Structure 1
């Protein structure tokens, strides 16, 4: 199979705030040809009488509650940023096509968080690899990118999800590795609460969790869960590597293999998801 060049980009810039700002380089002194080294070939109205005092009072009460919730969320997130500032964190992204999603997703991490991005492009499907190159060139202090010739198995190639994710984790040197699919866009800092949950003792934390219902699964309330949606999940990197990520077909399966507590933070995270890839 034809080889592809691997281009690592140094991520030593330090102006961003949020998790991971005290971290080392995301690619750990990036290797010259990780593709070959890791097995790839080559490189939501009330309307009533306006003079209804009771209704007016209720509206004021409801509005105050909503404002307080927003204030609490802002305060909590800022507190968490301070507590997790020294935890090294990287967002791992597999680029497997859908270039518009790639651009929107990676840009949201850069705009909304202080985390670094480590990405592997699998075969430049539909030009997604070129979009990644543009983002890495535009944000060299935040994005480290590798490019390989293998196309993803779910696009008739040879690179399986688990194998590709495992390579990302091994290229990373951070304490916390965030699995993020390009179908996910952040409308706020959804990374810091996840890292804070891991810092507080969870082996992994995600924006959505599931609980067993007999032989089936259903979405779980925030708190401790039985499994996590893998499209946005922060995990202790050594624990993830110890769970044989190569054998997982997706993040849900990987979460089941982890040993330790899985949690969903209490505050709803500002995350949007496009139709599943």
Structure 2
């Protein structure tokens, strides 16, 4: 796949606050991403009526846009601040913000990419949750049909042919004694994908609601990537919500065209390689506010000695990137 023409539905990436390209990586300040809703949902049609003069009054809020009063009246200012807060909360409760996000991401194509390396029950639960709670497509790479995980993906692709695409390869994963590495496998998924937004997701994760729309909305609004967990790679502390220096890869949405040049294809294992990916992206990295509607299904145990060795090797690459920035 090539990217001769950039996606026309995404706004240009914001470069005035570049995460991971300069400084120590400790800056966790900045605006928070917004967005809730359901990916792919259609906006409601308008009623056809003209704009009302004071719609806030119909919802029970005080104040009129044309009645400014005495700007020096502290009580009046406090009342307006209180009313504005109530208005925002009530509009959120009424789904106005969710509707705005759905409209904003309408037409933006999104694909969830998965590496299947065993744990077939988790693979089924993970994919089904994406189908049930989002409008995104699923692109999965089956590495050696370990424990029948490839068979599960094949069954899901038959049931949802418009949503699930599976590529089966004979190579077993590197962390299971084979030759297929994390970086190489992720790079293949990126090149097979044709969507605007590419989502990295682990099969040990299950969605309990639409966890993708807030991430996709942040990318549409100008972030180069958005995820549910930010981290300061200099000390390993969690960062966010808002702008963060790095993102972890459990659930991360990224501009596909930007990820193609930033993915560490030489990484054997995923832990800390996801940090290296996010540090290699030129643009703003964002964590949306609020807890993610997602949870872990359980640990996918990897041999401890392998995990420690490869994680350390990947983190050395992260430290080199930090020292060079």
TM-score between both structures, scaled by the size of structure 1? 0.72
SS in 2 for 1:259: coil
Query: What SS does structure 2 have at the residue aligned with 1:268?
Result: coil
1:157 equivalent in alignment to 2:178:
yes
SS in 2 for 1:219: strand
Q: How many residues align?
A: 215
Asked if residue 19 in structure 1 is aligned to residue 39 in structure 2, the reply is yes
Q: Which residue of 2 aligns with 1:174?
A: 195
CA deviations 1:149-186 (Å, max 9, x no partner) are 00110111100001000000100011100001101110
Task: Name the SS for the 2:260 alignment partner.
Answer: helix
**1:261 alignment partner in structure 2:** 284
User: Which residue in 1 is equivalent to 2:295?
Assistant: 272
- Larger radius of gyration, structure 1 or 2? 2
Q: Where does 1:187-202 land on structure 2 (aligned, <5 Å)?
A: 187-202=208-223
In the alignment, is residue 205 of structure 1 matched against residue 226 of structure 2?
Answer: yes
Q: Which runs of 5+ in 1 are unaligned?
A: 1-16, 23-64
Match of 1:26 in 2: none
Per-residue CA shift, 1:119-158, capped at 9, x if unaligned? Answer: 1100000110000011111111110111000011011110
Specify the alignment match of 2:164 in structure 1: 143
1:21–1:86 Cα contact (<8 Å) kept? no
**In 1: Cα distance, 2:95 partner to 2:296 partner:** 22
Deviation at 1:239, TM superposition (A): 0.5
For residue 237 of structure 2, what is the aligned residue in structure 1? 218
The separation in 2 between residues aligned to 1:73 and 1:135, in whole angstroms, is 35
Using the alignment, how far apart are the partners of 1:96 and 1:267 within structure 2?
31
Q: Which runs of 5 or more structure 2 residues have no equivalent in the other structure?
A: 1-36, 43-85, 301-325
CA distance in 2, matches of 1:232, 1:275: 15
Distance in 1 between the 2:298 and 2:138 partners? 22
Give me the CA root mean square deviation. Answer: 2.3
Relative to structure 1, the CA distance from residue 254 to residue 74 in structure 2 (aligned partners, 3 Å threshold; closer, same or farther) is farther
Q: Is the strand fraction higher in 1 or 2? A: 1
